[in-house]
Amino acid sequence: MLESILITIATAATPLLIAAMGELVVERSGVLNLGVEGMMIMGAITGFAVALTTGSVWLGVFAAILVGAAFALIFGFLTLSLVTNQVATGLALTLFGLGLSGMLGEGFVGRPGLRLGRIDIPFLSDLPFVGRLLFGQDPLFYLSLLLTAAVAYFLFATRAGLMLRAVGDNHTSAHAQGINVVAVRYLAVMFGGACAGLAGAYLSLVYTPQWVENMTAGRGWIALALVVFASWRPWRVVAGAYLFGGVTIGQLHAQALGVAIPSQLLSSLPYLATIAVLVIISRNRRLTMMNTPASLGRPFVPER
């Protein structure tokens, strides 16, 4: 019983971790993209539709990544080249993604989809308790952990990561040092979009292999909150993702056990937990200001 609960928590946490890791890189570059929800939902419908049409789950995953990056490129062009407001543009991208996905997915509602299979490692997968939990998960679960390690290494152990953090902390000084601020931010934004698209594909190809309109159900907003919760540190995002995954699965089990609490209240627990965490974090302004990229959300126009 406990093993099954932990496995479902890992499954619920994985899309949050992937999407939040991409957004962490975006915000480290000084860009605030509130379009994560829209990119996730477009990744979900694209991954499901391509996988069902071609019969290849991996083609669906790849297509979702490309669509997420393409949507992020639209956001980048508007905010980095045309210097539109990042908050308004991100919100518009989310609304656009939700509407377009509903239209594109109309013909796929109710159709059974393909599921990305789990990896079965001989002997290790059969170990008691930890076998299925550690050695019997889907490939994207392991990819999410590798992605976290790669992002942590990139940001804090490479020259390119140092340049990206320099752009996020002070884009004027970075520009004066010869760093192409706009190019760095374009790459970061596209990486974040690719991760959001991958997270969406996870929802429709692993978590629940079907298409349901608005199936992201606010997970993009939770991913945004996770970045703040983690103080823009990659490994803290892992802890936050699994915490929120646990809350999500906990309320489902509570409903199944018939807990005498209205189901609507139980369903809102992940979002109430998000608000509570953000309120607690905001009380420590010194910690928040110390880790927040100083140029976050600020437009940059290179000198002519």
What span, in angstroms and rounded, lies between the C-alpha atoms of 195 and 35?
12
Helices and strands (DSSP H and E) totals, the chain? 14, 0
Residue at token pair 């290494």: 153
The pLDDT value given to residue 287: 61
If you search the block for the tokens 């829209």, which residue do you land on?
A: 38
Measured distance CA(147)–CA(151) in Å, rounded: 6
How far apart, in Å, are the Cα atoms of 261 and each of 42, 97, 247, 256, 257?
Answer: 34, 34, 15, 12, 11
* Whether the predicted pLDDT of 273 surpasses 90: no
Write down the pLDDT at residue 258: 64
Domain extents in the chain: 2-123+136-291
Tens digit of each residue's pLDDT (9 = 90 or more) over 160-195: 999 999 999 999 999 999 999 999 999 999 999 999
Q: pLDDT tens-digit profile of 11-60?
A: 999 999 999 999 999 999 999 999 999 999 999 999 999 999 999 999 99
Determine the length of the chain: 304
**Amino acid type, 49:** A
CB 168 within 8 A of CB 29: yes
- C-alpha distance from residue 147 to each of 24, 153, 172, 208, 234 (Å): 12, 10, 30, 22, 10
CA dist., res. 142 & res. 62, Å (int): 17
Domain 2-123+136-291 sits in CATH at 1.10.3470.10
Non-local (6+) Cβ contacts of 243 within 8 A are 273
Rounded average pLDDT over 277-293:
71
pLDDT tier for residue 123 given thresholds of 50, 70 and 90: confident
Which DSSP symbol is given to 257? T
Alpha-carbon distance 272 to 50, whole Å? Answer: 35
pLDDT at 93 (0 to 100): 96
Distance CA(292)–CA(168), nearest Å, equals 9
Percentage of the residues of the chain whose pLDDT score is greater than 70: 89
